[in-house]
Structure 1
Amino acid sequence: MAARDQEFTALLERNRKQIVKAWLQGVVNTYPPKTSEFLTSQKDQFANPIGANLARDLDSIFTQLLQEQSSDALYTAVDGIIRVRAVQDFTPSAAVGCFLQLKNIVRQVVGTQIRDQDLLHELAGFDAKIDQLMLTAFEAFVHCREKIWELKAKEAQHRTKNLLRKKAGVDWTVSDSPDPVT
């Protein structure tokens, strides 16, 4: 890692707590007011597992972004957040858009220091990592939504099968895999 990259990473690490706290607040603010208030006021992880997991996963994502190469922990943390947002009433852009907030938060918290230390090139590299993070989040979101629709389709098939059995006395079996093409 080049000296300038190390300097930029050290700057972010020194301001980590403030950055992650602001990011968490920004993500929480994407929820309706009452939910947002609950997520920030309830500190018990058992009474508020979504808030606790959100705080943990955002911190983990930030850690991964500070590394030269991210690991599987990045996808795991992103997936933890997206799984919740995919089943809520978020549009796709709103569900994944919370990750973009990090760009503005970094600029708000350490923007002056970045300019003073002439770390704009390193900031651009960090922005590129956030762009990759967005693609990862979108992939996770699509995967979750596909799974939801798959489950809904199976449920509809099972309901139809049960209805046919009950009303017509027909035994209709549903295959979980498509018929092979011959």
Structure 2
Amino acid sequence: MTFESLLAERKAELSKMWADLVLQTYPKETQKIWTRQKDRFQNPVGAAIFEATGELFESLIDWQDAGAIAASLDKLIRIRAVQDFTPSQAISFVFLLKKLLRDEYFKAMKKNGTLEDLLRFEAKVDNLAMMSFDIYTKSREEVFRFRVDEVKRSQSSLLRKAGLVADVTVDTSTD
């Protein structure tokens, strides 16, 4: 039996455990709300975390569709990119998966001589981390661009209201 098939047998349990580890990176009060409330409309962030970790876990087992992996990563990273996380904290959830897998499988695999399978799978997790960093960087650039655009709109609006600039409309119609 391959390591991937062992993971596939427990994917629902392991992906939930991973989501719980991700939630532990948030303040205690936030954790309580996001783990207790299961309704996706009352708890969209918590639901997105559980959904994305489930999708990612399944995609990691097969590692067939890089686009699907990136889309699932994007769901999680967009949430974390707008929060008060440092870049390393924002993508730390990837390495929490390595911790989880080592906690669950390391001793048994070392004992039966299959530890190499775990290490090979961890290379996939490392690739996931590299993808995460690229997606995080792109997401942060979008956040900063939105902030700059909002400041520009606010400044322009204030200047118009103060009468310091006039609205100019350009006639682009042709006669």
Does TM, scored on the shorter chain, surpass 0.5?
yes
2:108 counterpart letter in structure 1: Q
Please name the residue that 2:88 is paired with: 93
Of 155, 162, 170, the match for 1:160: 155
Please name the residue that 1:19 is paired with: 14
* 2:66 counterpart of 1:71: yes
Provide the C-alpha distance between the structure 2 equivalents of 1:146 and 1:161, rounded to a whole number of angstroms: 22
1:108-129 Cα shifts (integer Å, max 9, x gaps): 1122332234222221221111
Provide the C-alpha distance between the structure 1 equivalents of 2:122 and 2:167, rounded to a whole number of angstroms: 54
Deviation, structure 1 residue 166: 2.9
Unaligned runs of 5+ in 2: 169-175
Please name the residue that 2:172 is paired with: none
* 2:21 counterpart of 1:62: no
Of 113, 129, 133, the match for 2:128: 133
Provide the C-alpha distance between the structure 2 equivalents of 1:22 and 1:42, rounded to a whole number of angstroms: 17
| 1:164/1:172 contact within 8 Å kept | no
Report how many aligned residue pairs link the two structures: 168
1:79-132 Cα shifts (integer Å, max 9, x gaps): 101111111111111111011011111111122332234222221221111111
Q: 1:69 to 1:118 in 2, by over 3 A?
A: farther
Identity %: 33
Deviation, structure 1 residue 71: 3.0
Please name the residue that 2:99 is paired with: 104
Of 12, 26, 38, the match for 1:43: 38
Please name the residue that 2:28 is paired with: 33
Which range moves more in the overlay, 32-41 or 154-163? Answer: 154-163
Q: 1:115 to 1:144 in 2, by over 3 A?
A: same
| 1:64/1:74 contact within 8 Å kept | yes
Deviation, structure 1 residue 168: 4.3
The TM-score normalised by the length of structure 1 is 0.84
The TM-score normalised by the length of structure 2 is 0.87
Q: 1:68 to 1:45 in 2, by over 3 A?
A: closer
Of 117, 124, 143, the match for 1:148: 143
Provide the C-alpha distance between the structure 2 equivalents of 1:96 and 1:57, rounded to a whole number of angstroms: 13
* 2:113 counterpart of 1:118: yes
1:89 counterpart letter in structure 2: D
2:28 counterpart letter in structure 1: P
